[in-house]
Amino acid sequence: MKRSQFLKLLAASSASLFIPRLYGEEVDPFSPPKAVEYETNRAFTTAGPGFGRRLCITFDDGPNPSTTHMVLEELKKREVKATFFLVGKNVDAFPDSVKKIRDEGHELANHSYSHPALKNMPEEKVRTEIFRCQESIEKASGVKAVWFRPPYGSFSQKQQPISTDYHLSVALWSLDPLDWKKPGSSIVTQRVLSQSNPGSIILLHDIHKQTAEAVPAILDGLLERDYTFATMSEFLGDPLISL
């Protein structure tokens, strides 16, 4: 199928897709997400198509050898592929973990170099954060990332040309279980399983032990509900390919 045809189908499947908690907005984590009309936007992606009950599970802020490797082991057992949004300074500190993520077939993506809120930063500093992370990932793995997730979702539409200059599309999310608040692995699991829908992009953080401990139950619960998994690029296609 041509990418243009795929995106037409994607737009047609919009009714069941969702918008994420953006930076500065308050959301009740126990309430289900509201269904909204979804428009294909390769610059700021918030959800994907639900064809075949597909969803995308993503992990931010790593790598952290102890917890990231726990997550990788559970993904491997179930033959599930994920997208890891890596922080550049952690990539520099743990390049072997980055190689392990790559070698096990997961997608590597850019999550800035030092994890600041970018929205109100000077353009030069924003560019440095993105570029240094991009450089670190490529040095460690030989992979050029094509997706960028701003820390905290703190990135404005006016800043979009910056990410575009580095050939990156911005990937946000539609489901945030707030695992970074460390509410306990069972609560993280419950939030993910109760709020997942076809097309969801799930935000998790592989640097937290509670999250790593929740991953087996999350994956098993989603598989029992007949969900299938895709990386960001499998979900939406390579954003660098022209329509």
Query: Which residues are tagged catalytic?
Result: 60, 205
Please name the residues in contact with 36: beta carbons below 8 A apart, sequence gap of 6 or more: 17, 18, 19
Structure tokens at 31: 């309430």
- How many angstroms separate the CA atoms of 203 and 217, rounded? 16
Do 149 and 117 meet the contact criterion of CB atoms below 8 Å apart?
no
- How many angstroms separate the CA atoms of 101 and 49, rounded? 25
Q: How far is CA 10 from CA 50, 146, 199, 233, in A?
A: 9, 20, 10, 14
Please name the residues in contact with 1: beta carbons below 8 A apart, sequence gap of 6 or more: none
Structure tokens at 141: 């793995």
> What are the backbone angles phi and psi of residue 126, rounded to the nearest 5°?
-60, -45
Q: β-pairing, 169-171 with 147-148?
A: parallel
Structure tokens at 189: 């699991």
Please name the residues in contact with 12: beta carbons below 8 A apart, sequence gap of 6 or more: none
> What are the backbone angles phi and psi of residue 84, rounded to the nearest 5°?
-110, 115
